[in-house]
Structure 1
């Protein structure tokens, strides 16, 4: 029988994918009554193994796609639209010309005239450390990769299975559409997938007091 939704009033430790504050996931907190079978009838790895595997997937994805997108740029396979456009906006922002662009001055003198991407302003701070399009590509790959964390936590919370948590994290990172968006230059809307996953996690766990 499929597991029911966990009791939303249960106390969960933040960032642990649905593990109760006691540090253990009980059949009761997972919504499984006595005598019911778990949703995933497979040998369950420990929470420590689950965390290690998910983090390994996150780090591997971030490293691989950072290297891949940088190699693509160095091979002259990126374009003025949109990586060059974003690079100029970030470069000018840290020099006082907020989101300034000159690629098509007859249309707009600011990136905000094309797209409303204010998230590029804090991202441009990375140019204080390494002023290069590489910074944008690495930030994009890292942020996308981190979206696997809330995905795995939601699977753990709803299905009560460490196997499910790892499987859903892997499915998120292996999704071709997400990878294609990650590879194609830099776009603020590519960050929407991981940010939405984090929003779903915060809503699900009702950790909204700081918003």
Structure 2
């Protein structure tokens, strides 16, 4: 009975023996996953677009990725001024597959193009998972699985924070793990092989897929896949990233610095280091919470190990928690583990009760966690209110002509990147300027225009432990632009200041 395909969770009016491919009196089962994808896309897109309209998107990271895709759209290398003069973004993370978005951006050059593309990619990942659940567990289970994935905190956090390259990996991983669950080994490898072109650490995830294939399916295919994943990540980290990085080396190597003096000591401390501080243990639990921890019963859960491993061993505190996009690639794997763990209960009434109870728990956990994560913004009054400050910022930004060079506050950068050449102002913190500054040695601005917002809707990156950039220093650099470097005041409204560099021979205000 383990291989039976009869759904045990029929919808009302559907006979228990109905084929999984059609449901009498209902929308054909083949449309169910796509209906979920369409609904989730609308949810994600609404949150993402509204955040951008409220000036909550950032130069770090939406502006950075827009500059890269904009370069690809004009058949140029992804040089990103926001990361530094002549900085090729392939020297930061290795993600050449971003170029697939270039045709869309060429048709619609806007940050909204990237935000909507990300929303679509995250939503499409539900299709193979819901299809697999409908085939093996029934229509009701497919709805529960789709809700568990689509409303999971890992996907919500990614959908509501700018744009990131890992959005490309989420549907590929979803298709890949669904293929693994259905023992379609070659298809699984084909779907996950492009991970090598999305981010350098995802080669390790491809290697984990290969190990799973070697254990459960064709050993030779699995071992070749594992070797390709490991070798791919190694080449990218040791050769390609240093080649493209203007400073040489791997830009993020410091995140995995040896904290115990030797490799042996580091390995010995690794189990405890992966759980300290407490936020790491909490995140490990929360990663599997959308499956009510049932995914841990499936060997598919092992595919999460590479991503969780580098995150928990990182020295960057942002990697330890639940914010931002870092958990998005884990959610398809966790959802697949949930489906896989429940398949063994098919075939008996007792098993059917267990499946129903498990999925009810999944839905309960999803609903309990929903208010604590970004999709809850849809129900907050502030999300639908355009403040006078936002209107003032838009009016000031409208004074900047297309094609200008602009130094802008982090939250204003993505409002300009589609039509101007933009860098961050004040200068993004660099070594030696993280915790203090010298009023007499402030950097000389080089952009034609400067636009600064004293009232950023969110503090990052100015006041967190990682990127302290106090408002006093921002204002000092703004004042120096006028008094020392010849910029004149063009407009000032509600804390948003616009300066323009005086023409040669002109006078600063």
Cα offsets for 1:84-118 (capped at 9, x unmatched) = 00000011111122212111225x62111111111
Cα offsets for 1:161-187 (capped at 9, x unmatched) = 111122211211111221111110001
Cα pair 2:69 2:98 within 8 Å, conserved: yes
1:39 CA displacement: 4.0
Mapped pair 1:77 → 2:56: yes
Cα pair 1:44 1:162 within 8 Å, conserved: no
TM-score by length of 2: 0.32
Match for residue 141 of structure 2?
A: 164
Match for residue 201 of structure 1?
A: 178
Match for residue 66 of structure 1?
A: 45
Match for residue 17 of structure 1?
A: none
1:55 CA displacement: 2.5
Mapped pair 1:188 → 2:157: no
Number of residue pairs matched? 178
Match for residue 152 of structure 1?
A: 130
Supply the distance in 1 between the matched residues of 2:131 and 2:151 (Cα, whole angstroms). Answer: 17
Supply the distance in 2 between the matched residues of 1:78 and 1:64 (Cα, whole angstroms). Answer: 17
Mapped pair 1:98 → 2:77: yes
Cα pair 2:121 2:168 within 8 Å, conserved: yes
Local SS of the residue matching 2:108: coil
1:119 CA displacement: 1.8
Match for residue 155 of structure 2?
A: 178
Of structures 1 and 2, the one scoring higher in RCO (CA 8 A, sep 6+) is 1
Mapped pair 1:116 → 2:85: no
TM-score by length of 1: 0.74
Change (3 A) 1:144 1:91: same
Match for residue 130 of structure 1?
A: 108
Larger proportion of strand: 2
Change (3 A) 1:44 1:111: farther
Match for residue 9 of structure 2?
A: 40
Select the residue among 43, 46, 55 that pairs with 2:34.
Answer: 55
Cα pair 2:78 2:89 within 8 Å, conserved: yes
Supply the distance in 2 between the matched residues of 1:185 and 1:151 (Cα, whole angstroms). Answer: 25
Gaps of 5+ in 1: 7-28, 33-37
Local SS of the residue matching 1:103: helix
Cα RMSD (Å) of the superposition? 2.5
